[in-house]
Structure 1
């Protein structure tokens, strides 16, 4: 007679232990990490168990260990790749705290608007994307976590450049200033004028077809005590009424700024749209 060991998971479901499960802990951990197929992937416990075919209790135990070791992070929106995994892939830097602080607001922005929400930082003359949250339209938007775009022609980049001294803007942007589309700002005089308008709007930046012809975007910076730390944006097609969703972006950036940098004093005036 063959005896089959039975494990009962936390939902009361009997799971046969000999159901072709990977025999070692290392293999099971690898199976779970493989389920996170992109830096922006977020999965619930149930999704991890379903994807890996591991018992729920086993998946939960290993997930807890991976979180403690910083291979994964955990928030109310589920599990995501943690600092160690992101650093191995070259996309994480030291921005885990920033990604965790913005996760909820990015999801809320996407759910309320149906648009694609981004988190990005300045990296030289470029913006580098740390997170991307979107529905069906996300596949149309040519951005990816870890990817880059020229700062001077993206709303994300302009929202951050607006809070840098003019000489720093020129040091970053001037050596690589170039044209992406017919609407790209290609000279420093025009760019400085645009950054001044952004400051007059209390940090709200717009971009319509400057980086990609059929894409429009609105962004606001997350500001630390020494300048812009990152920016949040919403992206739609060329016909999107950005003014309608702009207040949501301002509130989101302000919320993260106050959470991470409570010492930063922000103006409370409503931004103008002109």
Structure 2
């Protein structure tokens, strides 16, 4: 039998005089109050969620932890925000559409400029979700599709996003051992953290060489707002005939342009330095044969 519980609400709204409030009788009601405290744009502190939901702080903290563990809520140093599963109920349709619209002209320009395949992805749980794929005649040779998913740790675009998450968040996404996609896939959590550290030292440029599929190489850069990474852009080509370092500056430049479109008021330099050969590398077609990848 359900029992109506009561609790004292010490939220900021009633800081002067604690008020007794009746808790919703079911866990679903309490989860709904917490989820309805968020919108699709900003992050909230624990105190803000407590104030908006009208629930006791301890209850909010416990339920938020459970929602984070199941992907409904994301938690980072800047606070709590809606996670991929919550956004997938409707909010992400708008958010993903906005990202796709901002990126579309740059994806096509990048594909035409390089002759390679270009992907736009977001992190969904511990996988990357493909929002767009551009690549002309070579696209059909690549084992990726719009709406498809792949382990983030095996892809350049996924690693580019993971590099900007807190290490604890990455640990929560994966166990100690990582299921391999190929013999070159990163195999454990420690090696993944080493790779993410190298990406941060390159100021966000991630490389993947036959880690997702044989013969495929890729370079990726995350699109970052003030609250963290929101998506990633990647360019894929033949791993054996393409110098990915040569095209990294082009991918980074496209990522900067998309980021400026998404966040025009953001005052932060997301420039990613090129490699020593970047200024002398040819910018024509980087694909000498069918190319693809993550």
- TM-score after normalising by structure 2: 0.60
Which of 233, 242, 245 does residue 243 from structure 1 map onto? 245
1:232 maps to what in 2?
233
- The alpha carbon displacement at 1:265 in A equals 1.1
1:99 maps to what in 2?
100
Aligned with 2:175: secondary structure? helix
CA change 1:152–1:139 in 2 (3 A) is same
Whole-angstrom distance in 2 between the partners of 1:220 and 1:151: 13
- The alpha carbon displacement at 1:271 in A equals 4.0
1:1-274 counterparts in 2 under 5 A? 92=93, 94-174=95-175, 177-239=178-240, 240-261=242-263, 262-268=265-271, 270-272=273-275
Aligned 8 A contact 1:204 1:271 in 2: no
Whole-angstrom distance in 2 between the partners of 1:244 and 1:125: 29
2:56 maps to what in 1?
none
CA change 1:94–1:271 in 2 (3 A) is same
Aligned with 1:184: secondary structure? coil
Aligned 8 A contact 1:183 1:209 in 2: yes
- The alpha carbon displacement at 1:241 in A equals 1.4
CA change 1:242–1:164 in 2 (3 A) is same
Whole-angstrom distance in 1 between the partners of 2:192 and 2:208: 12
2:78 maps to what in 1?
none
Whole-angstrom distance in 2 between the partners of 1:127 and 1:121: 6
Structure 1 range deviating more: 262-271 or 128-137: 262-271
Aligned with 1:229: secondary structure? strand
CA change 1:196–1:138 in 2 (3 A) is same
Aligned 8 A contact 1:223 1:264 in 2: no
Count of residues in Structure 1 that have an aligned counterpart in Structure 2: 188
- The alpha carbon displacement at 1:88 in A equals 11
Aligned with 1:266: secondary structure? coil
Aligned 8 A contact 2:177 2:187 in 1: no
CA change 1:111–1:166 in 2 (3 A) is same
CA change 1:273–1:231 in 2 (3 A) is farther
Whole-angstrom distance in 1 between the partners of 2:174 and 2:257: 29
Whole-angstrom distance in 1 between the partners of 2:260 and 2:127: 25
Whole-angstrom distance in 2 between the partners of 1:269 and 1:136: 30
- Higher relative CO (Cα under 8 Å, sequence separation at least 6) belongs to 2
RMSD: 2.4
Whole-angstrom distance in 1 between the partners of 2:267 and 2:153: 25
**Runs of 4+ with deviation above 6 angstroms:** none
Aligned with 2:150: secondary structure? strand
Q: Which runs of 5+ in 2 are unaligned?
A: 1-87, 278-294
Aligned 8 A contact 2:256 2:271 in 1: no
CA change 1:219–1:241 in 2 (3 A) is same
- TM-score after normalising by structure 1: 0.64
